Structure 1
Amino acid sequence: MKEFIKKHSLLLPVAIYGIIYMSWFALLEEKVQEPVHIIHSVIDDFIPFVEVFVVPYFLWFAFVAFFGIYFYFKDREDFKKLAINLAFGMTAFLIISTLFPNGHELRLEVFPRDNIFTDMVKHLYTIDTPTNILPSIHVYNTLCIYHGVKNSALFRNKKVWRGATSLLAWSIIASTVFLKQHSIIDVFLAFALEIPMYMLLYKGVSLKFRSIKEKSQMETM
């Protein structure tokens, strides 16, 4: 048992954070029944409704879970970076939603078509409220996975995996606005939060390692 706990010590803080996040989020959903601050951009009015994007939207759940588990068992350092990245954005989302209760009024009341994809969107609308949307966690977490895969040695020579990950990631990001689940503002803020974290976690570590390596090489000359 001690060996198991030592080997999987990272699971405890992840589990604790998961409980805190879900509890806080549930409280926000209960408290904010109607949007207090409406998030809207004129750009939103020009984005068409494309119901087929409900497929990558729902694939997001498996996308995040799969790579989270994969990194945990294959490379703990990659997992730590991913976990820190995810926790930062999700915590920022909770704080913003608490201090600035928000939502949107973009959802369609009448759908332009009737098919299996619109039926899936109707179901999505019933299980997900149009409140607490800033920034888009769908977008932020997708960017975390995308950057994690892009910078992992595990996928350095796996072009098919990298390509498939990129295609799905950008499809998920696009789905948030094509399904009228988010304003383009939610997407932009997700990028604004993730890019600095990406530079800190991946580029900063890379530059530091390179500096140490070059210094070591100079000393051996």
Structure 2
Amino acid sequence: MNTYIKKSPYLLFLLVMPLLGMVYKFLNTHPREAVHISTAADGMIPFLPIFIIPYIFWYGYVFFYLVYFCFKDTKVYLKTLILIVVGEIICFLVYFFFQTIVPRPQLHGDGFLIEMVKFIYANDEPYNCFPSIHVLTTFAIMLGSRHIYDKHPINTMFIHIAGSLIIISTLFVKQHVVPDMIASMFLVSFLYGILFELYEVAVSKKADTVFAKNK
């Protein structure tokens, strides 16, 4: 219990997320000249309303696992949060200088899934697409989870299966196109390599040097 109390203040860093959301909203409602970057592959991907469920599930997924990381391994939590913040700032710069737009399908019918899609479309303009923040944050959680040890196998499976569904949902509900997804995964992988891999190697070498001097 004392451990949870000691780690709880770190959750305050999550307050940066609403601030990032405000920047996203500003750029989304004040678009620059937008371009289409759809590919032939995007034309072959069908619109499947059922994928609006994992798309919306993203909101809880990212928040829950950041909190989980905080209490499980605070260092991994902070690194993952930094990865997300830096990644989103880079995305915002791209949105400002290179704004893209995703063509949306005509929605027919009034079923529950269609109504959910209509809600998302009504509250999120078809800009701020390349790279995809949905994919960026989800992939950051998936990679960060690799450094959370002693997870239950079901938890591990859930992180990656749910994350994968969220990522492909961006394509099936026509919120993003393939280049958006690829760019986000490349950006996250690059930042992950710096924060999780190169940093660990540098710290390890420094520790080895100190140990050698003290022998």
Q: Give the TM-score band, short-chain normalised.
A: 0.7 to 0.9
Aligned twin of 1:168? 162
* TM-score, structure 2 normalization: 0.84
Residue 201 of structure 2 corresponds to residue 202 of structure 1: no
- 1:151 counterpart residue number: 147
Q: Percent of counterpart pairs with the same letter? A: 26
Aligned with residue 76 of structure 1, among 74, 77, 80: 74
* Maintained 8 Å contact 2:7/2:70: no
Question: Number of residues paired by the alignment?
Answer: 210
Relative distance call for 1:216 and 1:10 in structure 2 (3 A) is: same
Measured in 2, the distance between the counterparts of 1:170 and 1:22 equals 23
Residue-by-residue CA offset, 1:71-127 (whole Å, 9 max, x unaligned): 22332101111111101111011111111122121x11144x763222221222111
Tell me the distance in 2 between the aligned counterparts of 1:197 and 1:52: 32
Aligned position for 1:124: 120
Q: Say which SS state the counterpart of residue 153 (structure 1) adopts.
A: coil
Q: Which amino acid aligns with 1:193?
A: L
Greater Cα shift, 138-147 or 73-82: 73-82
Paired letter, 1:173: I
- Cα displacement string for residues 10-61 of structure 1 (whole angstroms, at most 9, x for unaligned residues): 456553x4454233223212312x8622231121101111111111111100
Match of 1:3 in 2: none
> Residues 1-221 of structure 1: matches in 2 within 5 Å?
10=10, 14-15=14-15, 17-18=16-17, 20-32=19-31, 36-105=34-103, 107-111=104-108, 115-155=111-151, 158-208=152-202, 211=205
Partner amino acid, structure 2, of 1:175: S
Structure 2 unpaired stretches of 5+: 1-5
The Cα of 1:185 is off from its aligned counterpart by 0.8
Cα offset, 1:138, TM superposition: 0.5
- Give the alignment's TM-score, normalised by structure 1: 0.82
Give distance in 2, aligned partners of 1:49 and 1:137.
20
